[in-house]
Amino acid sequence: MTSGWISLLTDYGTADGFVAVVHGVILGHDADLRIIDITHEVHPGDIARGAAVLEDTVGHLPVGVHVGIVDPGVGTQRRAIALQTSRGFLVGPDNGLLWPAAEALGGVQVAVELTNPAWHRPEVSATFHGRDIFAPVAARLATGAPIADAGPEIDPNTLVRLPIPPVHVGDGEVEASVHMVDRFGNVQLRMDGDLLSTLDDEVSVMGQSARRVRTFGDAPRGSLVVFTDSSGLAAIAINGGRAVVALGVEPGDRVRITSRNADA
């Protein structure tokens, strides 16, 4: 079940020493552990973004322990948790960050609250649980310590979950929420890309003409396209441009795509 791999996703940035300290704590526990940095550039406190990147990524990483730390409630009553799935562990705060990734790994089998002080740094600060709780817990799980020793089991149904925005599929139209915007300005919707096949080839995205294509390179430069992206979700792009600018949307916004005929 364990493999000696730990992956990290945080909102710590890379300009301070926080990430290196977390690496140091993990490697101080066992120098043979290996670490993959997913990203540390989640906007401070943006749990939804962190959850989306973690969900999208964990399935492609070596089986191991995935640590997510976007934790504006650090030091308050929010629980610190570890989740066991059939394809690895997740460690972090109980604020919705880990749940979608757990689903991507097959669902939560066991959930525990991280209350065993023997698994923490001797002194736990009120503000840096990455160093004091999450890193030492992850290192122990990654070296094969049983999750039951991390703390008491809790009911998975009590875990905090982010709201899942609805997908609307109608006659010649679909509507869904923006899930993520990537570095290229591509707009990913929280909707299965297969649902795009209910539309014509010529569509309208928020009133702007677009084409359904296999990849953005299939359309002329500057034109708006709709396609199934590499995660299998519906996405909107501009060949050589930034769809996010053309559409003026951000994560959580609703986007409606209609067949051009239906539009008329």
From the CB of 61, what's the least distance to a second copy, in Å? 4
Q: Nearest Cα to 190, choosing from 214, 212, 162? A: 162
Q: What is the rounded CA–CA span in Å between residue 54 and residue 180?
A: 12
Q: Which is nearer to a second copy, 172 or 241 (CB)?
A: 241
Residue owning tokens 């919705």: 96
Place of tokens 């915007």: 181
- For residues 224 and 210, is the Cβ–Cβ distance under 8 A? yes
Q: Figure out which of the listed residues 27, 110, 145, 154 binds a second copy, where binding follows CB under 8 A.
A: 27
Instruction: Return the residue of 1, 48, 69, 72 that touches a second copy, per CB under 8 A.
Output: 72
Strand ranges of the sheet holding 80-85, from the earlier edge strand across to the other edge: 34-39, 5-10, 65-69, 88-93, 80-85, 110-113, 153-154
Segment 144 to 173, residues that bind a second copy, using CB under 8 A: none
Let me know: does 77 contact 119? Beta carbons within 8 Å: no
Q: How far is the CB of 10 from a second copy (least distance, A)?
A: 10
Q: If binding is defined by CB under 8 A, does position 89 make contact with a second copy?
A: no
Among 86, 107, 117, 127, which residue sits at the site for a second copy (rule: CB under 8 A)?
A: 127
Q: Please identify, using beta-carbon distances, which residue of 121 and 260 lies nearer to a second copy.
A: 121
Binding stretches for a second copy (CB under 8 A): 3, 5, 7, 11-21, 23-25, 27-28, 31, 34, 36-42, 44-45, 53-54, 56-57, 60-62, 72-76, 125-128, 131-132, 180, 182-184, 214-218, 227, 229-230, 240
